Amino acid sequence: MNFLRQSTALLRLNLGGLAARSGAVLTILIGVTCAVGVLVSMLAMGTGAHRQALGDVRDDVAVVVSRGSSDLDSSVSRDQATTVADLPGISLGSDGKLLIGYQSVVIMEGHRRGTGARVFFPLIGTSPTVTAMRPEIHFTEGRMFQPGLHELVASNPCVRTFTGFELGAERDVRGVDWSVVGHFDQGNSMQCQVLADVETLMTVFGRNAFTNVSVELKSPRDFDAFRTALEANPSLNLEARRERDQVEGRFKGFKALLNFAAYFVGAIMAVGATLGAVNSLYSIVDA
């Protein structure tokens, strides 16, 4: 009981003196609040970007890449791709054809609206089956590219962020003019994506191997059987990954960078807030 009375008296004494030292108190509160706010906001950026990256990931899609490779380093030859198409567990589309997509990824240049800053992002050559494998793709303007033609389709985030993706615009890719024939949304994704016919793109870039092969499985449970069948032929030197694992691996470096920046800046802010609080306390004592 005596302890409670002492604590209450001490609390009243401190609260009663707030008006006299309001400047020092506000300095401490603002410093600590800013430090916490910066740390939380930067961590939230990383979490939001991670959720955005995984927003349209499907558990029934497997990605086949060369063993031990990253996205752009992977190389799947045409013979290897043909072997992949013969593996069990691949789903069929409404037309009776296998839901399998061949991709070739190259880097293209863009310029931000307003600033004109130069930015590089992937141009993805893909099979026409992409619309069947990605039903969340919805064209808001124009149409899908036609196989064999130098045509591009761009996601609406690309159109809003970069110049030169207006409908009917011509883009120079490897010395060849490509026409922008469509704009699309892909679910809730806000990522910039530019798609083209994979065979046409590979011809322009002189490639004879795909970057990766994506397959839609009959069920997520078929992944293990699909991977086992693929690895049963070691001469292929390929590996199958769940799409979620593929995207996670792609995002890992960026997430680590964001977390490092968040904790680094947060630590600096915390040290500054602590020093400010100590200085304010000394000022109160001296007064």
- Tens of pLDDT along 11-32? 565 555 556 566 666 766 776 7
Q: pLDDT tier at 5 (50, 70, 90 boundaries)? A: confident
Q: What pLDDT is stored for residue 95 in this prediction?
A: 84
Tokens of 104: 């070739």
* Residue 22: half-sphere exposure toward Cβ, Cα within 13 Å: 2
Dig out the tokens for 38 from the structure.
Answer: 């910066």
Using alpha carbons, select from 64, 76, 92, 62 the residue that is nearest to residue 222. Answer: 62
Task: Enter the pTM of the model.
Answer: 0.72
pLDDT above 60: residue 213 = yes
Average confidence (pLDDT) over 145-167: 93
Separation CA 83–CA 60 (nearest Å): 20
User: Percent of the chain having pLDDT more than 90?
Assistant: 35
Residues 201 and 190 sit within 8 Å (Cβ to Cβ): no
Mean pLDDT, range 114-134, rounded to an integer: 89
Which of 5 and 73 is assigned the larger pLDDT? 73
Least confident window among 107-116, 125-134, 268-277: 268-277
CA distance 97 to 34: 57
**pLDDT average, residue stretch 113-138:** 88
Residue 114 pLDDT: 84
DSSP 72: T
Helices (H), 86-167: 130-133, 156-161
Tell me the pLDDT band of 249, cut-offs 50, 70 and 90. Answer: low
Q: Bridge partners of 210?
A: 76
Phi, psi angle pair for 65, to nearest 5°:
-135, 165
